[in-house]
Amino acid sequence: GGYESASKHFNPADVEVDVHGRSFLVTGSNSGIGKATAKEIARRGGTVHLVCRNKERAQVAQEEIVTETGNQNIFLHIVDISNPKEVWKFSEKFRNEHKLNVLINNAGCMVNNRELTEDGLEKNFATNTLGTYILTTALLPLLEKEADARVITVSSGGMLVQKLNISDLQSEKGTFDGTMVYAQNKRQQVVLTEQWAKAHRNVHFSVMHPGWADTPAVRSSMPDFYEKMKNSLRTEAQGADTVVWLAISAEATKLPSGLFFQDRQPVATHLPLASTHSPPEDEEKLMEVLEEFSQKFRSSSPG
């Protein structure tokens, strides 16, 4: 019932906004929170770029959004966020062809066994952390040209149980626990957001916990949790509410850049008394390591 009690304090006018002429990119938008977010933005007249991995499912989602909202400006890009070369290629092409006001990093995965991508990267890290890092840094020059540019990253409250660990980014040590690896990636996204907010003052960054929602990802990655909790999970639209609020409301950008949100409110990124704080040098080191990784996959061809 967390959403019901929180939403009593929401101001509906915050999201009654016309966003015609503004351009939004939403990753992982063929289902779940990503699709619900894209639909709400489309309803308000925004141009929406859906970035999805699965072409068939993405086309179905695109048609559904156009039909339900009457907004024709819904564009589809097929990109696997876990493939850094593909993310670079897409970003560089997108930068030359489109404008962008708001980037929503929603794509994520929770793979329960240690799997490697074709580049030899652990799959959760490749998608949740490196993919998010490359897409955001590659599109920042485009965002910085626009007024009221925003970047929102969908993290998870699960990150509260993790302290940033830069010594094992690819989960090579010890036994592999997919849930904890995912939580570590979500902690990394919080650190990324805080670091970007310091470095890029004219873009508003935020990261958020959608609450536990009934999404295809939760059903497939956390079947036991889903079975136990299915009657009390949020709907996809409720999970997407704070993403939409952060993407379109004027209230969101009155708050400082770099904060972590739940139910339209900034919340702490550490539990009381938890030893999850990391030294600033670790946070800077994360940025350096991701930058090195990302450059490794950047094609040297011009343009």
First to last CA, the chain: 50
Please name the residues in contact with 23: beta carbons below 8 A apart, sequence gap of 6 or more: 46, 47, 49, 98, 99, 100, 101, 102
**Burial class of 141 by CB neighbour count within 10 A (0 to 12, 13 to 18, 19+):** exposed
- Please choose, from the candidates 219, 210, 214, the residue with its C-alpha nearest in 3D space to the C-alpha of residue 186: 210
Look-up of token digits 């626009």: 146
3 belongs to the catalytic site = no
Name residue 217's amino acid. Answer: A
- Please choose, from the candidates 123, 126, 120, the residue with its C-alpha nearest in 3D space to the C-alpha of residue 111: 123
Name residue 112's amino acid. Answer: N
Strand partners, 48: 24, 74
- Please choose, from the candidates 113, 242, 256, the residue with its C-alpha nearest in 3D space to the C-alpha of residue 177: 113
Strands 74-78 and 149-154, bridge-based pairing:
unpaired
* Residue among 3, 133, 182, 226 flagged as catalytic: 182
DSSP string, 260-294: EEETTEEE-SS-TT-S----HHHHHHHHHHHHHHH
Which positions are catalytic? 182
